[in-house]
Amino acid sequence: MVSIRQLIILAVICAATILITSCGENKEKEINTSNKNMNNIIAYFEIQSSNPVREMEFYKAVFGWQFTKLDNLPADEYYRITTDGISGGLHKRFVNTPPMECGTNAFICSIQVENFDETSERILKAGGQIAYPKFAIAGFCWQGYFIDADNNTFGVFELDAKAK
C-alpha cells in the first residue's frame, strides 16, 4: 500500500522532472525565473487515471491536448501534457478511484474555452458526464463542471461579460 507521504514525494519528483525536461524544448514556454510575480501561481497540473490511454483520448478529443510518454520516472506510466496554457501530467492512479459519493478530494482545474455549449457537447460525446450544469457568474462567464471516465472532476468556462 502506498502512503500519502510516498505519493507526495512521487508527485514532487515527477513535477520537478517534467519541469527540468521541458525547459528549453520550446523557448516560448521556458520558465521565467527572474520575475518574482511568477511565484504562487498555478503552473502545473496532474490528472490521475486508472486507464491513462482512455483519458488521453478523452482530453485529446475535447481540448486537443497533446501527450508525450516520459520514461525513467518513479511512476509506472507518466505522460507530459502540452496545452496552449500551462503544462501538466497524466499518470496511472496509484490507488483505487474514490467512489463518486465521496465528492472531490483535490483541486479542481477549470479550462477556459471559446464556446461552452460546443465544448459540453464534445465532452458528452467523448464519454464525459455533467457534474454540475452550466450556470452564470454574472458579468464574467458561463461555468460548469464535468467528470471524465475515471471520475476526475474538471471545470469549463466561457468568458462572457453579458452572462447573468
| Annotated domain spans of the chain | 4-29+41-92, 101-159
Query: Residue 17: pLDDT above 60?
Result: no
Are 141 and 159 a contacting pair, CB within 8 Å? yes
The answer to whether residues 93 and 150 touch, using CB atoms and an 8 Å cutoff, is: yes
Which of 70-74, 108-112, 120-124, 132-136 is predicted least confidently?
70-74
Matching fold, domains 4-29+41-92 and 101-159: yes
Across 60-78, average pLDDT = 90
Mean pLDDT of 126-146: 94
CATH number of 4-29+41-92: 3.10.180.10
The pLDDT, as a whole number, for residue 131 is: 93
Entry pTM: 0.69
Within 8 A by CB and 6+ apart from 105, the residues are: 98
3-state percent helix, strand, coil for the chain, nearest multiple of 5 = 30, 30, 40
Average pLDDT over residues 122-131: 97
**Interatomic CA distance for residues 111 and 7, integer angstroms:** 25
Based on DSSP, count helices (H) and strands (E) in the chain, helices before strands: 3, 8
Q: What's residue 76's pLDDT?
A: 77
Which CATH architecture describes the domain 101-159?
Answer: Roll (3.10)
For residues 160 and 50, what is the distance between their CA atoms, to the nearest angstrom? 35
Hey, CA dihedral for 56, 58, 60, 64, is it positive or negative? Answer: negative
